[in-house]
């Protein structure tokens, strides 16, 4: 049977309350009594119950992390950053993958509430605020990542998606491309919308007419990139370059191009977004926009801990990371015709 605090008290010849004060570092206990309690606990191999200690402190030392798609390599990088920071602070992370399903997202958030987690890092399936509103109503601290809910009471960590898209498309324009298509991500997310805005802004500043037919919306998956790529490459005139909403979409577009008998980058230049590990491994390496996912996860956890411990209160804070264009082998200069 597990050793209890009563066993320690009996061996040390003191009351349970005295053992509790010694083990939790609260209240005054004579040095000789403290030493006797610690020796008794060590001799019996007593391990304090994390749950019991949490009930006393009204904290569970656990947090929730809600993400939309664990198969997207961007989100495991965020998870790694969150878990690194959580582990250093003595916290356990409950991971919930919603599969981009709003109903499953609501279910997972409810389960985390029932587990009485101390806070939640939330990457929503869409920009809907219902789940976050429920958490705030319960007094549960929340940090939103990779989404913009426009909620004044919530801390937010994200990258400047518009600027990243702008840099990607400027790169293609500087290489001489004028027929640039956009294999877009999920239209219901601010992430997808901001990257589309950056694409459109780059065209406009270069004097290139925006063509709605050159934009096809899908979602942030490889399969979507493949389907969207087939659509875009089947149109006339065919684009000479594609800016993809993320790296998985870009890899799907490249597959569609190869099946159509096109060479990347000789016939088609492709730029992604995220800089997942696979982007540097494939050949040719994928030109992409890097966002520091692991660092973003660490910062989100640090901000959440500040809310949990009461070090920070008041209006929500907003931290925007700056993206970086990483040029690899899927883009090249467009040779003039004729």
pLDDT digits (tens, 9 = 90+) for 149-183: 766 678 999 999 999 999 999 999 999 999 999 99
The percentage of the chain sitting over the pLDDT mark of 70, rounded to a whole number, equals 93
Q: What is the pLDDT of residue 61?
A: 87
Euclidean distance between the first and final Cα of the chain, in Å? 85
Contacts of 12 (CB under 8 A, 6+ apart): 18, 19, 33, 36, 37, 39, 40
Q: What is the pLDDT of residue 148?
A: 79
Per-residue pLDDT of 274-309, as tens digits, reads 999 999 999 999 999 999 999 999 999 999 999 999
Scan for tokens 């008794």, then name that residue.
Answer: 40
Q: Is pLDDT above 70 for 327? A: yes
Per-residue pLDDT of 108-118, as tens digits, reads 988 898 888 99
Q: What is the pLDDT of residue 338?
A: 36
Angle between helical axes of 31-44 and 5-12 (0-180°, round to 10) = 120
The percentage of the chain sitting over the pLDDT mark of 90, rounded to a whole number, equals 66
Q: Which H or E element spans position 158? A: strand 155-159
Contacts of 40 (CB under 8 A, 6+ apart): 8, 11, 12, 46
Q: How many CB atoms lie within 10 A of CB 135?
A: 22
| Contact (Cβ atoms closer than 8 angstroms) between residue 333 and residue 176 | yes
Work out whether strand 288-290 and strand 324-326 pair parallel, antiparallel, or are unpaired: antiparallel
In this prediction, residues 246-251 reach a mean pLDDT of: 98
Per-residue pLDDT of 57-67, as tens digits, reads 456 789 999 99
Split at pLDDT 50, 70, 90, the class of 259 is: very high
In this prediction, residues 242-260 reach a mean pLDDT of: 98
Distance from C-alpha of 79 to C-alpha of 74, rounded to nearest angstrom: 9
Q: What is the pLDDT of residue 55?
A: 46
| Contact (Cβ atoms closer than 8 angstroms) between residue 294 and residue 81 | yes
Q: What is the pLDDT of residue 17?
A: 86
Q: Is pLDDT above 90 for 335? A: no
| Contact (Cβ atoms closer than 8 angstroms) between residue 262 and residue 330 | no
Burial tier of 293 (Cβ tally within 10 Å: 0-12, 13-18, 19+): buried
Q: What is the pLDDT of residue 1?
A: 62
Q: What is the pLDDT of residue 336?
A: 63
Q: Angle at the Cα of 141 (from 186 to 26), degrees rounded to 5?
A: 150
Per-residue pLDDT of 39-52, as tens digits, reads 888 888 886 655 45
Q: Indicate whether this model's pTM tops 0.85.
A: no
Contacts of 22 (CB under 8 A, 6+ apart): 29, 33, 34, 37, 38
Q: Which structure tokens are listed for 279?
A: 């982007």
Average pLDDT along the chain: 90
Q: Is pLDDT above 80 for 129? A: no
Q: Is pLDDT above 70 for 56? A: no
């Amino acid at each position: 049977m597990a050793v209890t605090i009563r066993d320690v008290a009996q061996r040390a010849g003191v009351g349970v309350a005295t053992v509790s004060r010694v083990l939790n570092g609260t209240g005054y206990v004579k040095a000789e009594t403290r030493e006797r309690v610690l020796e008794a606990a060590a001799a019996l191999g007593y391990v304090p119950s994390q749950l019991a200690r949490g009930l006393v402190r009204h904290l569970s030392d656990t947090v929730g992390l809600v993400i939309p798609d664990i198969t997207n390599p961007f989100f495991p990088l965020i998870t790694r950053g969150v878990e690194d920071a959580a582990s250093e602070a003595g916290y356990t992370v409950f991971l919930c993958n919603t599969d981009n399903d709003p109903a499953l997202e609501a279910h997972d958030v409810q389960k985390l509430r029932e587990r009485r987690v101390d806070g939640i890092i939330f990457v929503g399936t869409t920009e809907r605020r219902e789940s976050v509103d429920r958490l705030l109503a319960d007094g549960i601290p929340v940090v939103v990542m990779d989404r913009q809910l426009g909620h004044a009471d919530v801390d937010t960590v994200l990258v400047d998606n518009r600027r990243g898209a702008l840099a990607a498309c400027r790169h293609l324009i500087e290489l001489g491309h004028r027929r640039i298509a956009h294999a877009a991500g999920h239209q219901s997310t601010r992430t997808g919308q901001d990257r589309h805005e950056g694409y459109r802004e780059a065209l406009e500043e270069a004097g290139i007419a925006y063509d709605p037919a050159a934009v096809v919306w899908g979602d942030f998956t490889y399969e979507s990139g493949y389907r969207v790529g087939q659509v875009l490459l089947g149109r006339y005139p065919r684009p000479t370059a594609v800016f993809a909403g993320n790296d998985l979409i870009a890899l799907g577009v490249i597959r569609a191009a190869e099946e159509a008998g096109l060479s990347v980058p000789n016939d088609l230049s492709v730029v992604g977004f995220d800089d997942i590990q696979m982007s540097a491994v494939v050949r040719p390496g994928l030109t992409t926009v890097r966002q520091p996912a692991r660092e973003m996860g660490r910062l989100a956890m640090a901000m959440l801990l500040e809310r949990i411990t009461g070090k920070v209160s008041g209006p929500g804070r907003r931290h925007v990371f700056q993206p970086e264009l990483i040029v690899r082998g899927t883009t090249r200069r467009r040779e003039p015709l004729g």
